[in-house]
Each structure stands twice: as C-alpha cells, then as structure tokens.
Structure 1
Amino acid sequence: MPPASSVRARIEQIDRRNVISAGSTGLIEHLPCGNVRKCVYSDRDYEVCLRDLEREFRVYQKLPQHDRLLQLIRYSPEEGLVLQYMPRGNLRDHLPKAASAATAITLHERLQWACDAAESLHLLHSHGIIHSDLKPENFLLDSNSRLKIIDFSGSSFDGIVGSAIESTRFFLPRPLKEPPTVRTDLFALGSTISEIMTSRPPYDDLSDDEVEARYSQQIFPSVQELPCGQLIMDCWRCEVQTAEEAMKRLKAELESALAASDPASSCRSSPPTTRP
C-alpha cells in the first residue's frame, strides 16, 4: 500500500466542481474522459475508507463482465476506482421524477427493473457476495433504462463481514451484530421491489422507530394490489430462498405482462446478459 500522504495528496487535487455524488466511503468525481472516479475522503476515517474501497475493487475482480454491472476501468489506491459513468443517475431519484412526468412509468418498465434487481442480486450471491445495502439508490439506469447494481464497498465475501448495513426500510429485524446473509439481502430485495412498484419506500409516512417496531412484529405494508405483491411479501417473510427464485418469478410476471399487451412478444426471448 502506498504511503497515506501520497494518496491524500492525490485526493486533495480533486476539482470539487466535478464531484457528482458522495457516500460513506468517498466522493464520486466525473472525469474529463467521461468515466467516474470513486476515491476516499482525505479528512475522515481514511484507513477505513481505503480498506472499503479496496474491498469494492476485489468484488469487481470476483465478478464476470455483466450487463447488470458497471464496467471497471482501473483501480489503484492513489487514483481510486475508475468506473463507467451512467448519466441518468440512480433509480431512487428517477422513480418520483418519472412518476410525475407527462409519460408515466409503464408496468413493463417496473417489472423489468424488478427483474434487473433480482438478477443483479443473483449474480452477486452466485459468486459468494452479500451486498448488505440493497436499495433503489444503489441501482443506476443505463441508456436503455436497464439497471446496474453498485456500491460494494461494504459488502461481505470470502468470510469477511463488510461494513455496510441496510437502511431502516430495507433491514430485516435482527441484532445489529448479526452479519448480513442471503436472507437479509432478500428482505431488502422485497423492499426494493415495493419501491419500484409504488415509487415510494415502504412506510414512507412513518418514522424509522415506527417502521422498526412494525417490522419486528411482522407487520408490513399492504401489497395485495401491487404487481408482484405476493413475491414482495414472501421476501419480507423470509419465504423466498434464493435470488434466483425471485428472478424466475419476476421474469414469469414480466412475460405474462408482455403477452397480455402484445401476444407476439411472448415468443421473443431476451439475449443472455453474461459476456465472456
């Protein structure tokens, strides 16, 4: 690892006018070349942030190239993590804007996003990675309005428990010291799909304390009238065993919706998303 002083000096050269986002680990800078750079903060928890950034790089190394992932350009502790840029931003910001736009979000779009979210999670789990902070904010939209999952700096893998924890409405009730698991990711997937279908986080009208109390008593928002409502509830009740199961159920719903709107569409198949 290079000296901390050299990394800090490089970070301090960032043009703050190009910073487009910030998170727990560091800043996201839009580079002149068109990519983005994720680099650690120079003035707080430096060693911890650098460790988490290195962990995110290791996750990208473990995963194959895939349509549900950003392209990793390069990484070094001095420069940070350079990734493909998605100018349309994240799904959480997009949902309310699109819902209030002149052209409403279609059911097909919502189902496709739900499929993409489950497919992303299945990709991670099939390579032994627990995301640990699944939510619409951690999905970016590409130019074809498809999702790419991001932010692995706090993920768990290879027996290493990451630093991330789900936010309240995506958190499976458990002791805080209990590590994240496939089940906790699937619970968060249920809340993610709920937000995709409603354009609002679950229980967005309640305080965090009220949400925690209801979740602890297995009291969840009504989803009977929502597309994929049964799957959402099954995720919350820990009755979905794998992300692959969720993905298959969602794809079946998507195919049914396509067939209902265009019978010929059910004969068309999507191309594979994993590339060698």
Structure 2
Amino acid sequence: MPDTAQMSSESNSAANGGKTPVIRNAANEIVITSDSEAGQLLKKMLGAGNSGTVIPLPGGTRVQKIVSFWRDDFAIKRQCESLRNEIAIYEYLPKNHRRFAKFLGSSDDGKDRVTIDLEYLPNNTLHEYLRGYTVREFLDTKRRDDEETRADKERRMSRRHDSIPLQQRACWALEAVDGIVALHALNVLHCDIKPENMGLDAQLNVCIFDFAGSSVCGSEPMSMESTRYHKPRNPRDYYGVDTECFALGSSIYHIVTGVRPYDRVPDEEVEDLYARQEFPDLYGEALKDEPLKGSTGNTTPDTIGTSPVTGMLLFADAIRKCWYGEFATSAEILDALKSEVVRTFDEEDLRYISEKSGIELEKEAAGGPAADHSDDQ
C-alpha cells in the first residue's frame, strides 16, 4: 500500500508509480483508472464522503482518513479544512471515551496533506450493519445493477433485518443517544448525526465518528445533515441542540426499523414531506416506502422493531417528539428511551441491555425518569 501520509495533489502531475498517467477531465478532476494510484486506493477504501476517504492501514487495527486527492482543487482545499477541524475536535474530546471512535494520531503539512488515524471498527458502520452489506459491496453491486444483483441485495437485507433482536436495537439506540449527550455536555454539536457516522466495534457497541463538520463551543459548523436527518428550518444553515434532537429521532427510527425514514422516496419529496411535518408511520405496520420483505411493493406487515407493549415501533413516542421539537435536550431523549426500555423488557433482557450498553436500567424507574447512566468514560 502507498504511504498515504506522503500523498499530495502535486504528486499527481506525473505518472502514478510508473503506471497509468494521471488524466484530468474538464472539471479538473482526476479520471480514475483501475491501475492508477487512486484506483488502487478506491479498491481498498472502507468509506468516502465530503470530508475525505477512509482506507485500512497495515496491521488491521487502524484506519486512515485522507484527502481524496483525485478531486478538483476546491474540493481538496475544503477537505483539508474539514480534516483540520476534525483533528481539533478529536484533540478536544476526552481520550478513550467509550462512545467515540479512538483517535490515534494525525499529520498535516500545512498544504494539502492532512490525515487522521483512527481505530479500526471491524463491524463497519451501524448503517452498513443494519442493511447487511458494506459500502464497498454497495459500489460493486451498483455497477452490476441487474435483476439478480438487486434480488440478492434484498435477500441479504431481509436476512440481516430478521436476525437483529429488539434488545440489540434498543442497545444501539441508547448508546447512540448517550454518545450525543456526552458531546453536548462538552459543548460539541456533531452536525451530521446518522447511523452512517456511527461505527460498531468488535462487541457491536456504538462509537460515534466523523467530526469533520462539527461545532465546538460555538464555532461555525462545516457540514449539514443528510436530507432524512435534517430538520426543516430557516436559515438552512442554523444549528442547535434542537436540530441535533431531530436528527436523533430519524437515527432512532433508522435503528429500530433497519432503514432510513422514507428510504425509497426521492430526497426532494422527503424535503417537502418534512416541511409539511408529514413524517413516517410509527405504528410498525405500514412499510409502503420501506419494504424489507422481498420485492418492492410487498405489503406483508413487518413486526421487526415493534414494541410488544404498545404495538407501535419501539421508541415511537420519543421519535415523534424528536421530529416535532418536543425535547429541549438530548439528555431528555435518553431519559425517555431508558424509561421505555424499562417498561418494555423483562428483567433478563434489561440485565443484558444494561451490561452491554453500560447504561444503568432499574425496573423501579418505570413511570419516571430512568436511573442516570454510568460513568461516561
């Protein structure tokens, strides 16, 4: 593997390692060929976004986030700024916090070589785990968009969907919200909350990452939530605890159902629906827009994620309150989730959820706020 810490856009004015010369298109973006340096990196990448590309490092214990040097100059400059912001956030956060991906170091030449080393999370992102295939596999199947490939994806999603018990979904929701509570206590707004930015460690515990666009102590955010996690507001670039709570509502929905809100609806339509405060069904029956049982259009009721107590989706009331702005803080969301967990599960399940998540759950807390969560470290 190339030493990614030594890569720069300057190195791409010549041939890549003696292989294929760099070719740029009209937008000044590198045209990626299979044997180019960029092409080889993309074959190995674990994820990519507006703030950079994540690749594995030798040894299997860490990953590195690098600048996507095949992008145009403006995008490279923006990614460098985002990565520097992310480094500053990681250096500000407490070390080895159980809810954050472990920061293992960084490099910055002051120009266009910025990297971040993080712990390797073997179970990928929560989003990938829920759908049953990785971003690499998604890109591969996207290139082979035929009927057999689509059917295989549906089968894999359905198998994974059916295999995740309600107790595990409850753990993930608690851990995700607990992580955001910890961030807010440190005056950090994540600004891009979603299961795609939550990793799963070897024990399937949630670790939040991607702080490239985050705000600390009132600094200007550098990112915006994805459509399904974005609270309608004016101006669109306003951020606050209320916008974070909205994104948590959509994230909890995603965790409980296994799919994003309005997963099969185009982004523009989702924006219109949200603007009218028309949110997905929470009764755990209608999956018109998010079918996971076989082919599109299947009307078979899906009870995965449904509370045996209420008959609605687990955490339906908390999700609704997130979407309608009825929580003042993320800590209130965590208390609501803990109370519902206590009302929903028996003693054995509560013991499992509490031990796995590290969050105290007392049966006597039913009907009132659940006990405080344990030491954040």
Q: TM-score, normalised by structure 2?
A: 0.66
- Describe the SS at the equivalent of 2:85: helix
Could you tell me how far apart the structure 1 residues matched to 2:272 and 2:212 are? 29
Moved more, 104-113 or 247-256: 247-256
Q: 1:75 matched to which residue of 2?
A: 106
Report whether the alignment pairs 1:255 with 2:285.
no
Aligned to 1:231: 318
- Alignment partners' CA distance in 1, 2:243 and 2:183: 14
CA pair 70-265 structure 1, distance change in 2 beyond 3 A? closer
Q: CA deviation at 1:256?
A: 3.7
Task: Give, in whole Å, the separation in 2 of the partners of 1:218 and 1:19.
Answer: 38
CA-CA distance at 1:7 after TM superposition: 4.4
Q: CA deviation at 1:257?
A: 3.8
C-alpha distance in 2 between matches for 1:191 and 1:19:
27
SS in 1 for 2:346: helix
State the distance in 2 between where 1:262 and 1:91 align: 21
Q: How many residues align structurally?
A: 271
Aligned equivalents of 2:124 and 2:56: distance in 1? 12
CA offsets, 1:126-181, max 9 Å, x none? 11111111111111111111111111101122332222111111111113543221
Q: Please show how residues 165-180 of structure 1 align to structure 2 within 5 Å.
A: 165-180=224-239
Shift of 1:10: 7.8
Residue by residue over 1:198-254, the C-alpha shift from the partner in whole angstroms, topping out at 9 and shown as x without a partner, is: 111112232222221221111111214101000000000000111111112212333
Change (3 A) 1:119 1:252: same
2: distance between equivalents of 1:229 and 1:54? 38
Distance in 1 of aligned mates of 2:186 and 2:241: 12
- Structure 1: distance between partners of 2:47 and 2:255: 22
1:18 Cα deviation (Å)?
A: 3.1
SS at match of 2:181: helix
Give the aligned partner of residue 60 of structure 1: 90
Is 2:37 the counterpart of 1:18?
no
The residue that corresponds to 1:123 in the other structure is: 182
Select the residue among 176, 189, 200 that pairs with 1:141: 200
Note the C-alpha offset of 1:93: 1.5
Query: Do structure 1's residue 274 and structure 2's residue 305 form an aligned pair?
Result: no
The alignment status of 1:47 with 2:103, answered yes or no, reads no
- Residue equivalent to 1:188: 247
- Secondary structure of the corresponding residue to residue 106 of structure 2: strand
Q: Percent identity?
A: 31
Report if the CA contact (8 A) 2:195-2:251 is conserved. Answer: yes
Per-residue deviation at 1:72? 0.7
Distance (whole Å) between structure 1 residues aligned to residue 351 and residue 46 of structure 2: 42
Please state whether the residue corresponding to 1:100 is helix, strand or coil: helix
1:218 corresponds in structure 2 to: 277
Larger-gyration structure (1/2): 2
- Tell me what 1:156 maps to: 215
Structure 1 unaligned spans of 5+: none
Query: With CA pairs under 8 Å and 6+ residues apart, which has the higher RCO, 1 or 2?
Result: 1
Indicate conservation of the 8 Å contact 1:96/1:199, yes or no: yes
C-alpha distance in 2 between matches for 1:265 and 1:84:
26
Relative distance call for 1:257 and 1:132 in structure 2 (3 A) is same
Asked if the contact 1:111–1:253 (Cα under 8 Å) also holds between the matched residues in 2, the reply is no
Give the alignment partner of residue 91 of structure 1, picking from 126, 131, 156: 126
Q: Which amino acid aligns with 1:259?
A: D
Structure 2 unaligned residues grouped into runs of 5+: 1-5, 17-36, 133-156, 284-311, 360-373
CA distance in 2, matches of 1:46, 1:263: 47
